[in-house]
Amino acid sequence: MKTLKELQREVKEFCKKNKWYASTEYCMLDLMSEVGELAKELILASNYGLKEPKFSANTELELGDCLFSLILVANALNIELEKALEKVLAKYEKRLKEQKG
């Protein structure tokens, strides 16, 4: 399995090879658009929450689009996703310990 660092490098190389450059703002808008498409896919898969969702191959593609767009944003901001995730997990761990008292 590839690390987040490897995935970020792969996306960066893909963009460079294909001369795919966009502003950080555009990357963020693209991410929001892709999240919306994933939400629509999940809503339709569950018939608007009326049944257990039945996921399709398109669900996987939409999730992949979200990941790609998130990596574009991270790369545009020079943020290492592995480090960001580690910090967030530590934040939630601390929050959960505080809630337990």
Residue 96, pLDDT score: 94
- We report the CATH number of the domain holding residue 48 as 1.10.287.1080
Burial class (CB in 10 A: 0-12, 13-18, 19+), 15: middle
For the entire predicted model, the pTM comes to 0.89
* Cβ(68)–Cβ(37) below 8 Å: no
Q: What is the pLDDT, as a whole number, of residue 10?
A: 98
Per-residue buried b or exposed e for 18-29, using 16+ beta carbons within 10 Å of the residue's own CB:
eeeeeeeeebbe
DSSP E strand boundaries for 1-101: none
pLDDT band (50, 70, 90) for residue 55:
confident
Domain tally for the chain?
1
Residue 14: domain span: 4-100
Query: What pLDDT, in 10s, does the model give residues 13-47?
Result: 999 999 999 999 999 999 999 999 999 999 999 99
Residue 101: pLDDT band with limits 50, 70, 90: confident
Ramachandran area for residue 38 (φ above 0: left; ψ -120 to 50: alpha; else beta): alpha
